[in-house]
Structure 1
Amino acid sequence: MLGALLVLAFLPTFSWAHWSSGPWRTNATYVNDNSSVAADPYVRWDANTAAYWAYSTEGADDGWYYGIYTSPDLSTWSKIPGGAIKNDSANVWAQDWFWAPECYFNEKTGWYFLFHAGRYTEPKLVAENFKYPDFEEASKIGVAVSRSPAGPFVEIADKPIDYYPFDPEYHDINLLMSPPYLVPPASLDIGDTAPLGTYIPSIDPNVFWDDDGSIWLFFSRNAYRNWVWSDEFDRYIEESNIYAVRLDDKWWHDPHARTLPAVHESFRDVHKGQPEGWVDSVNSSYPGPTRKDGSVPVISYKLQPQAWENAHVNDHVASNGTLKNRRWSEGSTTIKRYDSFGQPVYFLTYSANNYESPDYGVGYAYAHSVAGPYYKSGSNPILSQDASRGVYSTGHGSILASSTNPAELYYPHHARPDPSADRYLYTARFSVDPDSLYVGFGADEGDLRLPSGVAPFSISASPLADAGNGTVSWNVSVTAASGAAFDLTSPQNRVWAEVANGSVASVDGSVVTVARAASGSSVKLVYQRARSNATQPWANVVQFQGLGQDEVTVETEVSV
């Protein structure tokens, strides 16, 4: 006969008063595995749903853009069906290259904003933003909104943000080249004959709110059409660099989320009239943009060269002429801290080298002003491939604090288990010391401690309808302290069932089934976490409150 739930997660050995002597602690850990396909992940804690949310370039179902995952603990990720933006939405402005989504929540208005990159391919739209209808790789930044972190997100408008970044001092080398634009001029003298001025294609948005209320957009100047002469290598190298620009704040305070973000007036059309003789369009069929907005260079090889960023400057020869010689700086995230003297320090992490390459890695820079100048750390790269443990292409992550401790930081990012594999979601501890201008990562292999605020765990079981096949079943639920449930099909965790009389129990995710022949016996259900040790791959989860207190296993019992 099917029995009722006997015991919950905490056995009544002690009174609650006895336990209330400190924060909850647990032996539960996680292992960075390959269970969640994700690229360019942005992760945030969402108080409304009491869970972590991840947004990814990859991982969406067919018919959607951007994968979405949710987790109680930054490790057991559950995929949200569909994705962030449905690709048949009437106002999806971009035509391809849906990259690098980041989600921000406004507590006052209740709106979630999804910034993302996209590319135009239709010549007229390309010309409206970049002057030339055949502008190579015409990427821009758009914003979609939702009332839920799970989406669906809908574009605010059928166009990207109101921003036309322009570089009046750049000699547009592409105008001297022929498709597929692989071979630049052989000398600086020839390159300097190219016309001045070009619009800047942009990807990888990251929005930063400063203490004074100003809102800043950091983005990567897409490498295309940014050929930079290198005296070091005696040739042109195509680069992506990181820029910053201040945004207005009307969009953020709009209670209806119908206002498209726009560049702040201090950056609007600052290059008007430059360069001399500039013509806005190539012909009357393709009217080009008339504004020439500004930006602040933040990260580039020219500003501060570092050798680790040169992994692909010889790719043209190495690929038998099929690739360009390039450098990348992309995927930035900015945070702010104060040193012991009360001076602000802005830390910016960024990724360099080709994302497809094992050499993809993470560096950082620091500044005393949000607009810089930023100085790259001499310790770069601070996160990079490690072939000895099968981790490659580490990079393009985001920084967030645990749900209960603002000082406990993490860096979710993507990596590959081998150079040719997909990108997956990994998480490493992240530390910042503003006095020493230091940024570092904790281990991202082995058994890694869960973030603060996950414990105490709760476990419960409810009977399922009798299937009439000689078995009884229960649906088991395990939740974090926040109330968010764990996906028990995730390889990071499981429920282990033990039947007192030696009968066999089967476990399928959250469903535990026992033969009715075991009638009268009890079944102990224990929550376990995966471990990196192949000889002991699972460990019972225990927890306690306050040092010196007895550990209690996260378990419950049901009767058959």
Structure 2
Amino acid sequence: MRSIKNSSVICILFALCVCSLSCGGSVSLTPDIEGVKPISYEIIEDKLPIADPYVLYHNGKYYAYGTRINGFEVYISEDLKHWKRSDHLALSPENSWGTRWYWAPEVYYVASKNRFYMFYTVDEHICVASADTPTGPFVQDEKKPIVVNEKGIDPSLFIDKDGTPYLYFVRFTSGNVIWVAEMNDDLQSIKTNTLTKCISAEEDWEKIQGTIAEGPSVLKKGETYYLMYSANHFESKNYGVGYATASSPKGPWKKYNENPILRRDKPAASGLVGTGHGAPFVCADGTYKYIYHAHADINNVGPRRSYINDLGFSAQGVISISGEPIRPVIIK
């Protein structure tokens, strides 16, 4: 769904280390494990400075993308804690339609095409670009939006077991509303006759500030489809994450009755505010985690930064976001 040299060793080191997280300092990992050399990192930034984040796990490494500048950076990690910023952009504006508001990139490896696809928002339109590697450069074959004559944001791809590709995205229909459409096989366009409404902001917790449901992500567990989403305005301290379930990728969707599962008042937020617009991803060991952004602090929305928590499924199929957040850092 999304894609650690010596991953088990890295995990042990991370679990046992005592880290100094001051920006510009160094971190030494000194576990008492015979035959394992300590690893030292030079930290150049004490945060992962992206919003609307997404993680792809591929061939032993994690790749993180998000909203920050015109175009999109890519960050690379082997342990989810320590990230290196690539020295080139994953997607540059000259390789894309549009000139401003580059938001919410998601990158997928499509095995049938042996190619990576980046779905993203630019100038409030949804676009797709492709590349040979997860670091890019991603390029639009034809510089145009997926839906030419309508604004939209937050695209997210889901390919079902039968190979059918679905694109979930936000349309501005009575607020921010999540819709789905089947994609054509080239992954460049949608079948407009299949457009189906999925999720709108109707519950009290979803409308504290604005009528907004956004940031969709879909995964399948067993025979159940899960649509994770965020609600409220991203500037709200009560921005949060919920989910709905269905027996079909087009719904109808039933919202979990104990939403939200992540918000400032939930234990997993660990004091963070404005938690939301993230994405689930599969780790090296097959477990799930959830990356999301939060406000800079209690008083300031930006610059937003990203965090990672555990994501699990109960025996009854209930999703939970739990654990102490991983607080990523940028290393040299």
**Which range, TM-score by smaller chain?**
0.7 to 0.9
2:170 paired residue number: 220
Equivalent-residue separation in structure 2 for 1:365 and 1:106 (angstroms): 25
Aligned mate of 1:43, from 48, 51, 55: 55
Residues 55 and 449 of structure 1: is their aligned pair in 2 closer, same or farther, counting only changes over 3 Å? closer
1:142-181 equivalences in 2 (<5 Å): 142-161=127-146, 163=147
Would you say the 8 A contact 1:334–1:349 is kept in 2? yes
AA aligned to 2:190 is V
**Matching residue within 198, 208, 211 for 1:311:** 208
Q: Deviations over 1:438-482 (max 9, x none)?
A: 11011234xx699xxxxxxxxxxxxxxxxxxxxxxxxxxxxxxxx
Deviation at 1:81, TM superposition (A): 2.3
Gaps of at least 5 residues in structure 2 are 1-7, 22-45
Q: Does 1:411 align with 2:290?
A: yes
Residues 390 and 417, structure 1, Cα contact 8 Å, conserved in 2: no
Q: 1:427 aligns with which of 308, 311, 326?
A: 308
How far off is 1:66 after superposition? Answer: 1.4
Kindly provide the CA deviation profile for residues 218-238 of structure 1, in whole angstroms up to 9, marking residues without a partner as x: 00113xxx44xxxxxxxxxxx
Q: Distance in 1 between matches of 2:72 and 2:306?
A: 14
Mapped to 2, the partners of 1:436 and 1:306 lie a distance apart of: 23
In structure 2, C-alpha distance between the alignment counterparts of 1:77 and 1:386, rounded to whole Å? 28
Q: Secondary structure at the match of 2:55?
A: strand
Check whether the contact 2:53–2:278 (CA below 8 A) recurs between aligned residues: yes
Distance 2:141 2:297 in 1: 39
Q: Output the amino acid matched with 2:211.
A: R
CA distance in 2 between counterparts of 1:27 and 1:152 reads: 33
Question: Once structures 1 and 2 are overlaid, which stretch shifts more, 413-422 or 143-152?
Answer: 413-422
Q: Which residue of 1 aligns with 2:211?
A: 327
Distance 2:259 2:120 in 1: 27
Q: What is the identity, as a one-letter code, of the residue corresponding to 1:438? A: V
CA distance in structure 1 between the aligned counterparts of 2:197 and 2:72, rounded to whole angstroms? 28
Count of residues paired in the alignment: 293
Bigger radius of gyration among the two:
1
1:26 is paired with a residue whose SS is: helix
Higher RCO (C-alpha under 8 Å, 6+ residues apart): 1
Pick closer, same or farther for the CA change 1:214–1:78 going to 2, 3 Å.
same
Q: Structure 1 residue 158: deviation in Å? A: 1.5
- Conserved 8 A contact 1:45-1:53: yes
Is residue 2:125 matched to residue 1:140? yes
Q: Residue 199 of structure 2: which of 279, 294, 299 is its match?
A: 299
Residue pair 2:72, 2:92 contacting (<8 A) in 1 also: no
For residues 109 and 382 of structure 1, what CA distance do their matches in structure 2 show?
35
Preserved contact between residue 270 and residue 324 of structure 2 (Cα < 8 Å):
no
Kindly indicate whether the alpha-carbon contact (under 8 Å) linking 2:128 and 2:140 is maintained by their aligned counterparts in 1. Answer: yes
Instruction: Tell me, in whole angstroms, the C-alpha distance in 2 between the residues paired with 1:93 and 1:390.
Output: 39
Does the residue aligned with 2:205 lie in a helix, a strand or coil? helix
- Report what 2:229 is aligned to: 350
Deviation (angstroms), 1:437: 3.6
Conserved 8 A contact 1:206-1:219: yes
Q: Give distance in 1, aligned partners of 2:47 and 2:184.
A: 39
CA RMSD after TM alignment: 2.6
Structure 2 contact 98–122 (Cα < 8 Å) conserved: yes
Partner letter of residue 224 of structure 2? V
Shift of 1:27: 5.7
Residue 373 of structure 1 aligns with which residue? 252
- Partner secondary structure for residue 88 of structure 1: helix
2:74 to 55, 68, 79: 68
Structure 2 equivalent of residue 530 of structure 1? none
* Structure 2: distance between partners of 1:109 and 1:295: 25
- Which of these residues, 104, 116, 120, is aligned with residue 112 of structure 1? 116
- Once residues 147 and 353 of structure 1 are traced to their aligned partners in structure 2, the CA distance between those partners, rounded to angstroms, is 36
Separation in 2, partners of 1:436, 1:80: 41
Contact 2:293–2:306 (CA<8 Å) still a contact in 1? Answer: yes
CA separation in 2, counterparts of 1:444 and 1:221? Answer: 34
Say which of 14, 17, 25 aligns to 1:28: 14
Q: Which residue of 1 aligns with 2:83?
A: 77
Q: Could you say if the C-alpha distance between residues 371 and 108 of structure 1 is closer, same or farther in structure 2, counting changes exceeding 3 Å?
A: closer
User: In 1, Cα distance between the equivalents of 2:64 and 2:179?
Assistant: 24
Q: One-letter code of the match for 2:320?
A: G
Q: In 2, distance between residues paired with 1:159 and 1:381? A: 36
Alignment of 1:114-513 (within 5 A): 114-119=118-123, 139-161=124-146, 163=147, 200-222=150-172, 226-227=173-174, 239-249=175-185, 251=186, 261-264=188-191, 267-268=192-193, 294-301=194-201, 305-312=202-209, 326-338=210-222, 344-386=223-265, 389-405=270-286, 408-419=287-298, 420=300, 421-433=302-314, 436-445=316-325, 490=331
- CA deviation digits over 1:76-133, x for unaligned, max 9? 11111242222234xx2113221111111123443211111122xxxxxxxxxxxxxx
* Same amino acid, percent of matched pairs: 30
The answer on whether the counterparts of 1:390 and 1:418 sit within 8 Å (CA) in structure 2 is no
Question: By how many angstroms is 1:416 displaced?
Answer: 2.3
Alpha-carbon distance in 1 for matches of 2:265, 2:292: 15
DSSP-derived class of the 2:206 partner: helix
Instruction: Say whether the 8 Å CA contact 1:28–1:449 is kept in structure 2.
Output: no
Tell me the SS of whatever aligns to 2:261.
coil
Aligned partner of 1:65: which letter? G
